[in-house]
Amino acid sequence: MDLSEPQVMGILNVTPDSFFAGSRSQTEEEIAVRCNQIVSEGASIIDIGACSTRPGSVPVSEAEEMERLRMALDIVRRELPYSVISVDTFRPDVARMVVEEFGVDIINDVGDDKSMFRMVARLGVPYILMSSKSTMREILLDFASDVQQLRDHGAKDIILDPGFGFGKSLEQNYEIMGELEKLQVMDLPILVGISRKSMIYKKFGFTANEALNGTTALNTIALIKGASILRVHDVREAVECVKIVKSLNGQIVK
């Protein structure tokens, strides 16, 4: 996958408690419909999560997370056998299972367990590294240290996620978005996941259900500042953002 052209990652949550109800798919039919929708609307990556990381949530057991993922991955691989799949997990053994049993292509880690570094290096898959630090300076220092550790273990394809909504106040999220271009000094692809998050809806006093417009605005800003991947609930709108920014940059848009 050529990340010199921005890609869209569509979210498929096989959980009953993810913060945005519209992203939850639990039955076999719902999962099949959602994965096909993600691809038909233009996403190049399906990101599957089976353990909610919303603020205040209690993680399910590792066994429950694996059971949910096995069900979902079996359906997605049957429906879309050639799709690029990312799994959102913070558990090394879950990462091992989904890669070894289902050939998952990317591990998207929102945890801080450094043993994941050794696991993804062993598995040889691209890895999304997230920071829960609260300032751009701290994020850059965090990434510099972690990327070196990953490379020491032999990991190669590393994608950086500044972690909007993780360990940051509402104001700090916007400060980091305002400095997002500074991450380009790392010379690695950048993933931005701000879709319908509280940094949008708390600012205006409504709910995640009403946060699409703010999401679209911030996705556009993120692309202008160098984002390579947008992780979103609303794929069609994000794909439109990519096409608009490509037009601004003088690229041919299909």
Half-sphere exposure of 241 (CA within 13 A, CB side): 30
Task: Count the neighbouring beta carbons within 10 Å of the beta carbon of residue 172.
Answer: 16
Position 207 scores a pLDDT of 84
| 8 A C-beta contact, residue 40 and residue 8 | no
Closest by CA to 228, choosing from 128, 107, 154, is 128
Position 156 scores a pLDDT of 87
Please state, for a pLDDT cut of 90, what percent of the chain lies above it.
Answer: 70
Q: Report the DSSP beta bridge partners of residue 48.
A: 12, 87
Q: Which of 34, 68, 133, 197 is catalytic?
A: 197
Catalytic residue list contains 197: yes
State the Cα–Cα distance between residues 109 and 97, nearest whole angstrom.
14
**Structure tokens that stand for 83 in this block:** 């799709």
The region of weakest confidence among 68-77, 154-163, 201-210 is: 201-210
User: Does residue 60 carry a pLDDT above 90?
Assistant: no
Catalytic residue list contains 231: yes
Half-sphere exposure of 148 (CA within 13 A, CB side): 5
CA angle in degrees (0–180, nearest 5) for 28-107-188? 135
CA distances from 236 to 24, 39, 148, 151, 239 (A): 18, 10, 36, 35, 5
Position 23 scores a pLDDT of 46
pTM attached to this predicted model: 0.89
Closest by CA to 130, choosing from 175, 178, 89, 171, is 89
**Structure tokens that stand for 232 in this block:** 């979103």
pLDDT digits (tens, 9 = 90+) for 130-160: 999 999 999 999 999 999 999 999 998 999 9
Q: What's the chain's average pLDDT?
A: 90
Q: Which of 118, 182, 231, 243 is catalytic?
A: 231
State the Cα–Cα distance between residues 12 and 17, nearest whole angstrom.
13
Task: Count the neighbouring beta carbons within 10 Å of the beta carbon of residue 183.
Answer: 24
The region of weakest confidence among 53-62, 155-164, 174-183, 231-240 is: 53-62
pLDDT digits (tens, 9 = 90+) for 15-30: 775 544 554 556 888 8
